Amino acid sequence: MSVTAVITTGTVDIDYPDRRIRRQQDDLDEISQTFQRSTGGLLQPGAAFPNASGYFITESTETLEVPGHFVYDVRGVGTAGGVLELPGDEQENDEGFDDASRTFITTNRNQVLIGQAMPGTNAMRCVSVRRQKHPRTDTHWILTASYRGVLRGVKEPKVRWTSSGREISKEALINNFPSGWNDPRRSQILWPRQGCTISYVSLSVPNVAVPQQTGGSPHPQAPFVYTPNVSGPASEFVWQWPNGWVLLGMDVDILPSTTIAYVTENWVFNDRAVIG
């Protein structure tokens, strides 16, 4: 039996100059390289790729060339910047907050948290995060973040006008309505009731006491409010305060970690006096 003699000289640990990196726009980059080491069982999947910050080993083929000389064919994935941000979508709404989404691939599962600003603007804030492991490596997470806020500045308020009425019956009533009467009669009238809802996004949280009385209309496009002109004993009327346009209620939805708020104001027109 003949034995092959093996003579080795120089350094055993060698990083071969055959590194290849395949860069991708919508996923992690791929990297491959050949290494020689004096020990087996090294360069395992999940370990950091040698001398390549941000990259991790996903596959390693170990070959014993000669005793004390192990050759590794190593492949991995990663990104030089540590975090890969993928293109997302944006939706501007004529009412309420705007919406957007972004996807990140990163080794840090807490790279994105509720309340954090969307990259590029402080007016959009994270309201939900979906986390899942990357299908090709346990070292990376795919984070899908949903954002809400203001994409391009404050938009025009959304205004809704409402009109209703309530029936009032009286045994003896004199009214001066158009086509009305001037002598006491058993009467039934429909008393008008105007309302208004104003919704808008504000960059600061409103601090308004409710109810609040205004001297004019809550909005420049307010419709004409007809105030009936009636007469009779004071005991026949109910006097109302506050009166005119009155802010009855306010709903405020504040974005996390900001003063940006979606506000809904509820207004009603109260006559100074109504038939009781």
Q: 97-138: per-residue pLDDT in tens?
A: 999 999 999 999 999 999 999 999 999 999 999 999 998 888
What does the pLDDT read at residue 1?
A: 41
Cβ–Cβ under 8 Å, residues 203 and 260 = yes
pLDDT of residue 226 exceeding 50: yes
How is residue 133 written in tokens? 């492991």
Residue 135 in tokens = 């299908």
DSSP output for 43-66: S-TTSBPTT-TTEEEEEEEEEEEE
| pLDDT band at residue 5 under the 50/70/90 scheme | very low
Average pLDDT over residues 39-45: 94
Structure tokens at 246: 């009155």
Q: Is the pLDDT of residue 213 over 90?
A: no
Pairwise pLDDT comparison (133 vs 191), residue with the higher score = 133
Note the pLDDT tens digit of each residue in 227-273: 766 666 677 778 888 888 888 889 999 998 899 999 999 988 888 87
- Cα separation of 42 and 62, whole Å? 9
Residue with tokens 């034995």, as numbered in its chain? 3
- Residue 245, number of CB atoms within 10 A of its CB: 22
Per-residue pLDDT of 136-161, as tens digits, reads 888 899 999 999 999 988 788 999 98
Task: Give the CA-trace dihedral at 24, 25, 26, 28, to 10 degrees.
Answer: 40
- In this predicted structure, what is the pLDDT of residue 276? 67
Cα of first residue to Cα of last residue in the chain, in angstroms, is 122
With 90 as the cut, is the pLDDT of residue 199 above it? yes
Per-residue pLDDT at 176:
61
pTM: 0.73
pLDDT (0 to 100) of residue 237? 77
224 burial class (0-12, 13-18, 19+ CB within 10 angstroms)? exposed
106 neighbors 86 (Cβ within 8 angstroms)? no
The answer to which of 33-42, 55-64, 202-211 has the lowest mean pLDDT is 202-211
